Amino acid sequence: MDFAANTKPASGIRELRSRIADARLVQNCGRVTQMIGLVIESDGPMASVGEICSIQQQGRGEGLLAEVVGFRDKKLLLMPLGDVHGICPGSEVVATGHSLRVPVGDELMGRVIDGMGHPLDEMGDIPKLPLAELDLTAPHPLKRSRIEHTFETGIKAIDTFVPMGRGQRLGIFSGSGVGKSTLMGMMASKAEADVNVIALIGERGREVREFLEKDLDESGRKKSVVVVATSNQPALMRVKGTFLAMTIAEYFRAQGRNVLLMMDSITRFAMAQREIGLAIGEPPSSRGYPPSVFSLLPQLLERAGNSDRGSITGLFSLLVEADDMNDPIGDATRSVLDGHLVLS
């Protein structure tokens, strides 16, 4: 018998095996046992830290997405990414098998999105784009190109007295109401960057609208991606919004573009992580910040800068509390960044 005619190509067999291996034949489920404050505790499913689960809500069709942030006595600790109304003891918890993945692509330019990549503007749905995970690593130290070119911000006072380099990471230290948003809007319109990625983390809703309508003009809006996670949203959403902005900036850098990344503010990102850390039982340290805050800051900030393809010039604002320039977040951030400005 001639078996050659009935033999499939090896590549086809490999693809079939891959699909079978990825198929979820058995649903990995658990049940909610307790909810205290921000944390949902569940008995099962089998899931790892960082994995996304879907929690059934009474009276709602779609499940609530939540991330596994820890364990306690063989039970999962979940942090929600949305409204927890409708969750009750015994609600089904289903593991998705992957961490949070968000869409990235050129179609995001000119759009306003939330911390999960959903559109907030009135410009319709975002086309289907490739999905990327948020927990990427920083460029290899030996593959980073050196800072050799000046970055023109379009602000004469900065370009003359404190010029920036392309790929530099700069902290902007200031109190509230001194013009950070105005400065960011001016840079978005006038800077020489190919793409702007603007993250508004922990801001009031009123401030977000004022920034979009007053500070960011039409020319700046067209080449910008604005990520918004307001103060009323869950702490995990604010943290994920910060990492989403960095992931989008990294996408454009990988295309060989020069990106201007502006985050307002790192302080509120740290406060959101403080809420998460304290809720799952981390010990508080300086000013109540748990150790995870000081671990996440360099993980985030080191991802900006130059690579062997493009650049991310980073401007990270820090809210100075009671004019204390030496607060724990300011100290930790200064040790990672390449320089800082003080607005007064």
| Phi-psi map region of 240: left, alpha, beta (phi>0 left; psi -120 to 50 alpha) | alpha
- Between 267 and 218, the more confident residue is 267
> pLDDT value at position 12?
61
DSSP 307: -
> pLDDT value at position 319?
87
Task: Say if residue 6's pLDDT is above 50.
Answer: no
Task: Say if residue 219's pLDDT is above 50.
Answer: yes
What is the rounded average pLDDT of the residues 66-92? 92
The span from the CA of 203 to the CA of 264, in Å, is 8
- Between 23 and 93, the more confident residue is 93
Q: pLDDT (tens digit, 9 = 90+) per residue, 137-189?
A: 899 999 899 999 999 999 999 999 999 999 999 999 988 777 787 888 888 88
Q: What is the mean pLDDT of the chain?
A: 88
Question: Going by C-beta distance under 8 Å and a sequence separation of 6 or more, which residues neighbour residue 128?
Answer: 103
Inter-residue contact 153 to 322 (CB < 8 Å): no
What is the pTM assigned to this prediction? Answer: 0.88
At 200, phi and psi to the nearest 5?
-110, 100
pLDDT class for 299, splitting at 50, 70, 90?
A: very high
Q: pLDDT (tens digit, 9 = 90+) per residue, 243-297?
A: 999 999 999 999 999 999 999 889 999 999 999 999 999 999 888 999 999 999 9
Inter-residue contact 57 to 64 (CB < 8 Å): yes
Q: Where are the strands (E) in the chain, listed by range?
A: 29-36, 39-43, 51-55, 64-72, 75-80, 92-99, 101-103, 112-113, 131-133, 150-151, 164-165, 169-174, 195-201, 224-229, 258-264, 305-306, 311-319, 339-342
Domains and CATH numbers, the chain: 29-99 (2.40.10.170), 102-342 (3.40.50.12240)
